[in-house]
């Protein structure tokens, strides 16, 4: 059994690599092929009466590590300079404004048609309002530089802002001045802590001479994020700041204290670090979506009771996105269609407490929204000219 599992994993991961290689040519998001592969493996095992262990507890673990790696990978690719200010501003606004508007709109629909409290409706709405950087970033490799950078900034910020918004609403019994002030204090704590941790990790990256150098740093990053999550602090802000800092040392050379890190030597280590993060992120992302596909029940995909709601949610996503892109004078094609839901939607959905859950928002609805939004992105990329 163990040998069979290892062989199956190796074959599936090699297939995932082929899906990534072909995505820029076929315009088919690799996530759809990964989900389909995981689902087909389950059907094959069921047909030959092979019972597998319960892998469901692994999903949140893989999702959390994958989210950290993907945001870090995206942040390492971003450039910080004056010429990027307008791009960053637009991407942050396009990530935040539709998220807030769509959250209130879906919350109102859940509140009106499901007869639940508005707070519970809002908590259940937020997971559908966050763009999945795990799907968006790998899918735009064939776009021009401006659109590619826009998607990286936007989807990474959407993940961060979505988690912050969800935690703020879900873990505050009452939304009042005290809750808001506590929230801003937490942000300040995270910013200060992020600066200290970033300096420390950059120092380690430059000073460690052991042949195993990057694994301890990756473990420390995951540890810091996990500790911040226990106290409901926005740990993704730390991930983003760390990636931006070590990825933009050349832009920070005007500060005298940067010379203490020996930027020329550190840049070489950062380049190796980026390569390791990219490969590690690929494995975790592939395993997550393969496992998620394996855990999908066919009945959930074909659930007609939730399918109508899934179409309404995906249609609302496109409408709110079109308005925001037009408002900030950002090209509609193909960016209008690149708003997939995925890893972060699943993680937030799994984080909803039983007392806050509503019957409508279940596995079937989440799966259908993820698949439909990925299909919309695929059609959008296929019908758009790319460089």
- Mean pLDDT, the chain, rounded, equals 84
d(C-alpha 205, C-alpha 202), whole Å: 5
Closest CA to 126 of 372, 358, 376: 358
Structural domain of residue 125, as residue ranges?
2-51+58-382
Give percent of the chain above pLDDT 90.
Answer: 18
Give the best-scoring range by mean pLDDT among 21-35, 38-52, 89-103, 181-195.
89-103
DSSP 367: H
Inside any domain, residue 387: no
Residue 1: predicted pLDDT: 66
% helix, strand, coil for the chain, step of 5: 80, 0, 20
d(C-alpha 56, C-alpha 350), whole Å: 11
Inside any domain, residue 316: yes
The model's pTM: 0.86
Inside any domain, residue 238: yes
**Model confidence at 191: pLDDT above 70:** yes
Angle at 243 between CA 59 and CA 84, to 5 degrees: 120
Q: What is the pLDDT of residues 66-106, one digit of tens each?
A: 888 888 887 787 777 777 788 888 888 999 999 999 999 99
Inside any domain, residue 202: yes
SS3 string, 163-191, reads HHHHHHHHCCCCCCHHHHHHHHHHHHHHH
What is the residue whose two structure tokens read 């984080």? Answer: 351
Closest CA to 135 of 336, 383, 375: 375
SS3 377: helix
CA dihedral 332, 369, 105, 354 (to 10 degrees): -150
Number of domains in the chain: 1
d(C-alpha 31, C-alpha 330), whole Å: 26
Task: State mean pLDDT over 153-174.
Answer: 83
Closest CA to 41 of 294, 295, 287: 294
CATH number at residue 231: 1.20.1530.20
d(C-alpha 111, C-alpha 120), whole Å: 8
d(C-alpha 180, C-alpha 135), whole Å: 32
Range in 296-300, 314-318, 357-361, 382-386 with the lowest mean pLDDT = 382-386
Q: What is the pLDDT of residues 351-379, one digit of tens each?
A: 888 888 998 998 899 999 999 999 999 88
Inside any domain, residue 27: yes
Inside any domain, residue 296: yes
Inside any domain, residue 160: yes
């Amino acid at each position: 059994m163990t040998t069979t599992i290892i062989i199956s994993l190796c074959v599936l991961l090699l297939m995932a690599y082929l899906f990534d290689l072909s995505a820029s040519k076929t315009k088919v998001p690799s996530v759809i092929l990964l989900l389909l592969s995981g689902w087909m493996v389950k059907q094959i095992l069921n047909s030959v009466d092979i019972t597998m262990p319960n892998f469901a507890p692994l999903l949140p673990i893989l999702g959390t590590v994958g989210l950290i790696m993907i945001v870090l990978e995206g942040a390492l690719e971003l450039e910080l300079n004056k010429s990027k200010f307008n791009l960053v501003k637009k991407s942050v606004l396009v990530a935040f404004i539709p998220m807030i508007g769509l959250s209130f709109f879906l919350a109102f629909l859940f509140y009106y048609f499901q007869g639940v409290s508005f707070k519970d409706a809002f908590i259940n709405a937020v997971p559908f309002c966050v763009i999945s950087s795990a799907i968006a970033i790998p899918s735009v490799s064939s776009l021009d530089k401006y659109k590619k950078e826009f998607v990286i900034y936007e989807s990474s910020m959407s993940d961060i802002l979505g988690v912050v918004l969800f935690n703020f609403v879900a873990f505050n019994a009452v939304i009042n001045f005290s809750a808001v002030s506590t929230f801003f204090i937490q942000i300040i704590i995270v910013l200060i802590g992020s600066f200290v941790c970033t300096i420390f990790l950059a120092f380690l990256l430059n000073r460690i001479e052991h042949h195993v150098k990057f694994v301890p740093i990756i473990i420390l990053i995951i540890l810091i994020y996990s500790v911040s999550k226990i106290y409901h602090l926005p740990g993704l802000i730390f991930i983003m700041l760390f990636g931006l800092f070590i990825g933009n040392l050349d832009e920070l050379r005007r500060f005298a204290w940067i010379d203490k890190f020996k930027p020329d030597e550190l840049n070489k280590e950062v380049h190796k670090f980026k390569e390791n993060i990219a490969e590690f992120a690929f494995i975790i992302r592939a395993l997550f979506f393969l496992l998620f596909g394996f855990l999908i029940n066919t009945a959930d995909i074909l659930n007609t009771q939730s399918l109508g709601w899934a179409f309404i949610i995906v249609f609302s996503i496109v409408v709110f996105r079109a308005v925001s892109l037009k408002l900030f004078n950002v090209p509609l094609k193909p960016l209008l269609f690149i708003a997939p839901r995925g890893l972060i939607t699943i993680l937030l959905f799994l984080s909803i407490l039983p007392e806050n859950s509503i019957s409508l928002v279940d596995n079937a609805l989440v799966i259908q929204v993820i698949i439909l939004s990925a299909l919309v992105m695929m059609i959008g990329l296929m019908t758009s000219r790319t460089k």
